[in-house]
Amino acid sequence: MVDAESERRLRNAGTWGGLAVSAIALAGVMAATAGQGTPPTERAAPTAAQEPGCPPETGTSRLADPAMPDPATVTPQRAAELDRRLTEAAAGQRIPTADSPVTIPVIVHVLSRQDGTGNVSRAKIDAQIAGMNKAYSGGHGGADTGIRFELHDVTRTADDLWFRDFMGNEEAIKRELRRGDGGTLNLYTADLGRGILGRSTFPQDYSVNDWADGVTVDYRTLPGGGREKFDLGHTATHETGHWLGLFHTFQNGCSHPSDYVDDTPYERQQSAGCPEGRDTCPSRPGEDPVRNFMNYSDDACMREFTEGQGERMRRAWAAFRA
């Protein structure tokens, strides 16, 4: 077993100077309103990091195989509690409109092997941020959510153990690398294995485990990353939706209140591939939202957020991250 000091000597961590943070951008993220909380969520799978002595908390994730059990399933009870906390925290808050976009600073933490595996290029990172901006602005045909992203920095850490076992070393990784407050999106890339594409925390949980806050994706899901069916960058788009308070479109199945967004049709179960015309809740209006970014469809199928999802994300931003 490698002790902590020996492991640190094996690590070769470096930071790229990213885009300069303007005074205005910094002002927008310096004050994060603490929500009352519980912990993480989401595109396929995870258990969130935990404080010593505490039971593991579930996060939320995107799965590569929608047929496999999702260890990050959000129970109806937990979803209801998260929604209650959002409603209470957002009361009296000034909610941004889609006409005045919120710009979120992003710090990308690239984990890789010592031999360079996983050391994704700056070009792929730039493409990821551009892809998220296109998705969140309605560039694929969906609604403009009023959310934008700006890359502020990139860190690079070569550590074989951290790269291949992010979940098993999550607390150590995030406590060392994470930067900013609740309004800063920390995006980690690593090898998450075959089953999990990405994972995220919920904004309601920032006040409980601020060090755990952020989004993690498999490095191959970035644009051009080579993950079959999932390399257009929509895993980060999906997981960031959770980071901003969204549930999966199939949350609660055909039962009220579904995903707590009025304009996403009910859906009994997650989608796979791109099953256009599928209707798993025939007694409810509308076909399944298989093209929604908060589903499990292939990247090429995904193209939209709804106006209601945009409003919920902006409410969560004002309540917990602004």
CA 183 to each of CA 7, 33, 215, 251, 302: distance values in angstroms, whole numbers, following the listed order: 31, 9, 13, 26, 26
Rounded to 5 degrees, φ, ψ at 152 are -110, -25
Angle at 153 between CA 62 and CA 220, to 5 degrees: 35
Angle at 314 between CA 310 and CA 45, to 5 degrees: 70
Distance, in Å, from the CA atom of 225 to the CA atom of 223, rounded to the nearest integer, reads: 5
CB 104 within 8 A of CB 149: yes
Rounded to 5 degrees, φ, ψ at 280 are -85, -5
Looking at residue 76, its amino acid is: P
Instruction: Kindly state the helix (H) or strand (E) to which residue 127 belongs, with its residue range.
Output: helix 122-136
Residue 81 makes CB contacts below 8 A (sequence gap 6+) with 38
Active site residue 239: yes
Distance, in Å, from the CA atom of 156 to the CA atom of 18, rounded to the nearest integer, reads: 12
CB neighbour class for 306 (10 Å; exposed up to 12, middle 13-18, buried from 19): buried
Closest residue by Cα to residue 319 from 111, 31, 127: 31
Tokens (6 digits) for 89: 């925290």
Q: Which of 239, 276, 287, 304 is catalytic?
A: 239
Catalytic residues: 239
